[in-house]
Amino acid sequence: MIKVGIVGGTGYTGVELMRLLARHGGVKLTAITSRKEAGMPVAEMYPSLRGYVDLKFSTPAEAQLENCDVVFFATPNGIAMQEAAALLAAGVKVIDLAADFRIRDVAEWEKWYGMSHASPELVAEAVYGLPEVNREQIRQARLIANPGCYPTAVQLGFLPLIEAGVVDTASLIADCKSGVSGAGRKAEVHTLFAEAGDNFKAYGVGGHRHLPEIKQGLDRASPTPVGLTFVPHLTPLIRGIHATLYARLTKDVDVQALFEQRYANKRFVDVMPAGSTPETRSVRGSNICRIAVHRPLGGDTVVILSVIDNLVKGAAGQAVQNMNLLFGLPEGLGLDIVPLLP
């Protein structure tokens, strides 16, 4: 059994990791750290885990993470970059669910995240953990930068078009809608039920941290840097991201076939039949990204609809998928979960 530690297990990505790992079959959860909640049984904070997780939150000192085979960081940005080096030196593999290692241009990262990077040398080593793009590199990696939720949905939606060179990459539009759990389990006013319920709004229109991450991923596939307008919206959903993507076709291709071929052997990307409109709930609780392709009225604008569960394929599920690859396990181990509908 692979020995697993989790740093920062009190947030939504932490509890979601535990939900998945508790029934994974190939791992043993050995420690979950939280300075603030050390000593509290995990299942007291999250009764959904009663009978599944018997651990208590522990301090980093108690946790002895260096004895783990792999450690997940389900922490705020800026923590993993301080602690990853020591773990790697101890032979522990590291999967960071935060943003510390996602952006290869350290100066760019520092601009968007407003802090100095503590381990710039690791940024170069880290592998961006989007298996549908980087499967082989992930298998060889020690340090995984697990993608953001918006970047997962948007890249999976745009990449087939960009890789095939069939769209005008100068003016891509990603209109994205996220459930409120994407903001995490922090006490904040704007994500209160009475604020976010029965309400809809855009945010971060002038610039969102996921923009450079998405752009970096799309640029890799494009001969010239892409021009991308990215507008995220806060939606009265608990879980779910719906990305509505717009691009202009420069060649008359069979877009449906293009997507089906691109994801032919990708277990966690489901290209739906032509004409479909994927619902966020159709992936609730699962690691699947469902995509549908449209050309409204047969024009040259292609509309891609891409949905994921932000806490699974957009965070903890993708992290487990990466872990499976890191350790040579079947890619879908522990992720064979039927979405919860309704």
DSSP type of residue 147: P
210 contributes a contact to its own copies by CB under 8 A: no
Member of 114, 205, 257, 330 binding its own copies (CB under 8 A): 205
Verify whether residue 149 is a known catalytic residue. yes
Bridge partners of 245, per DSSP, are 174, 304
Task: Identify which of residues 24 and 262 has a Cβ nearer to its own copies in the complex.
Answer: 24
DSSP type of residue 249: B
Whether the bond into 225 is cis, omega within 30 of 0? no
Closest CA to 127 of 113, 108, 112, 146: 146
Bridge partners of 167, per DSSP, are 249
Do residues 145 and 96 lie in contact, with contact meaning Cβ atoms separated by under 8 Å?
Answer: yes
Whether the bond into 47 is cis, omega within 30 of 0? no
Q: What is the DSSP string of 259-320?
A: HHHHTTT-TTEEEPPTT----GGGGTTSS-EEEEEE-GGG-SEEEEEEEE-TTIIIIIHHHH
238 contributes a contact to its own copies by CB under 8 A: yes
107 contributes a contact to its own copies by CB under 8 A: no
22 contributes a contact to its own copies by CB under 8 A: yes
195 SS3 class: helix
Question: Least Å distance between CB 32 and its own copies?
Answer: 15
Do residues 153 and 233 lie in contact, with contact meaning Cβ atoms separated by under 8 Å?
Answer: no
Helix (H) or strand (E) holding 246: strand 241-248
Q: Please give the Cα distance from 57 to 45 (Å, whole number).
A: 10
Residues in Cβ contact with 237 at an 8 Å cutoff, skipping those fewer than 6 apart: 177, 178, 179, 180, 280
260 contributes a contact to its own copies by CB under 8 A: no
Task: Identify which of residues 119 and 181 has a Cβ nearer to its own copies in the complex.
Answer: 181
Per rule CB under 8 A, count of chain residues that contact its own copies: 87
- Footprint of its own copies on 213-232 (CB under 8 A): 227, 229-231
Task: Identify which of residues 218 and 305 has a Cβ nearer to its own copies in the complex.
Answer: 305
340 contributes a contact to its own copies by CB under 8 A: yes
40 contributes a contact to its own copies by CB under 8 A: no
Question: Least Å distance between CB 206 and its own copies?
Answer: 6
- Footprint of its own copies on 160-189 (CB under 8 A): 171, 173, 175, 177, 179-181, 183, 185-189
Tell me the window of 62-70, 116-124, 159-167, 241-249 that interacts with its own copies (CB under 8 A): 241-249
Question: Least Å distance between CB 205 and its own copies?
Answer: 4
Q: Please give the Cα distance from 327 to 139 (Å, whole number).
A: 7
Task: Identify which of residues 46 and 327 has a Cβ nearer to its own copies in the complex.
Answer: 46
328 contributes a contact to its own copies by CB under 8 A: no
314 contributes a contact to its own copies by CB under 8 A: no
Tell me the window of 29-37, 80-88, 288-296, 316-324 that interacts with its own copies (CB under 8 A): 288-296
335 contributes a contact to its own copies by CB under 8 A: no
Tell me the window of 42-50, 59-67, 134-142, 158-166 that interacts with its own copies (CB under 8 A): 42-50
Which active-site residues does the annotation give?
149
